[in-house]
């Protein structure tokens, strides 16, 4: 028996001995990917804004929030296409003013600030914190690739007490783009120093999953609102309406179960 084979045999015997002595012991498999880049709404519930909107516009909380969010996305797309970048918190304010005018609603200056502040203290989805802990423990790098400004990213992470889970809170404002511009997605490989195939993009929106997959990332759509697949000819590599599906995709099937 040659030396290499002997060493492998001894290692296998040692592993069996440890497993027999400690029934709870198991080897931790290597993650399938080296990093994950999140859209922030995979982690934070955008509808946590509803409660604040309801205080200002009773009975209109959900309808207003949906219209406001849709206009945020639309303004981001338009500014990206026309190369007319603006801080996303200002985009959020512009979308708020448009939505109020469209729905024929008015606020005081204090109420407007109250509404905007809701986007600085979003609530994490119930499964987010535990999932981030598992990803961090696995050694997977955790970043964002978000249209949120750096200030918005930091404020929400600090308020939720989860800032330490991230290797970097990366905003597309760095190169004055918005997703789904390919230059926004490119920030991931530039800042991580990894190949596309090593980075999973975790999308909240179907359009974002399309953009990331078109760019070339392995892409997982965390479809929190159970929306239909976008009819664009390209689909994510996997989808689920919760964080567990994403964990399984990155770490291996039935991760943490």
Beta strands in the chain (DSSP E): 35-38, 44-45, 123-124, 141-144, 199-203, 219-222, 238-240
Tokens at 23, concatenated: 């029934």
CA distance 87 to 115: 17
Phi (first) and psi of residue 195, to 5 degrees:
-75, 160
Which of 39, 181, 208, 248 is catalytic? The answer is 39
Q: Which CA distances in Å does 68 have to 31, 75, 84, 87, 242? A: 38, 11, 20, 17, 24
63 is catalytic: no
- Which residues are catalytic, by number? 39
């Amino acid at each position: 028996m040659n030396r290499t084979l002997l060493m492998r045999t001894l290692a296998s015997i040692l592993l069996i001995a440890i497993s027999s002595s400690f029934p709870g012991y198991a080897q931790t498999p290597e993650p399938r990917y080296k990093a994950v880049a999140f859209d922030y709404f995979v982690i934070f519930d955008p509808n946590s804004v509803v409660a604040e909107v309801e205080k200002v516009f009773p009975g209109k909380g959900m309808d207003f929030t949906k219209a406001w969010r849709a206009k945020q996305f639309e303004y981001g797309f338009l500014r990206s296409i026309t190369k007319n970048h603006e801080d996303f918190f200002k985009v959020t304010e512009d979308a708020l003013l448009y939505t109020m005018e469209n729905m024929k609603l008015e606020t005081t200056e204090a109420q407007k600030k109250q509404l905007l502040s809701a986007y600085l203290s979003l609530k994490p989805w119930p499964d987010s914190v535990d999932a981030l802990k598992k990803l961090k423990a696995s050694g997977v790098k955790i970043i964002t690739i978000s249209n949120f400004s750096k200030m918005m990213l930091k404020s929400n992470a600090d308020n939720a007490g989860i800032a330490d889970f991230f290797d970097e809170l990366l905003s597309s404002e760095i190169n004055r783009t918005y997703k789904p511009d390919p230059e926004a997605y490119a920030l991931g490989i530039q800042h991580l120093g990894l190949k596309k195939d090593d980075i999973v993009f975790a999308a909240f929106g179907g359009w974002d999953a399309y953009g990331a997959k078109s760019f070339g990332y392995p892409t997982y759509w965390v479809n929190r609102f159970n929306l239909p697949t976008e009819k664009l000819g390209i689909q994510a590599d996997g989808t689920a309406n919760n964080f567990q599906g994403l964990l399984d995709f990155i770490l291996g099937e039935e991760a943490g179960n």
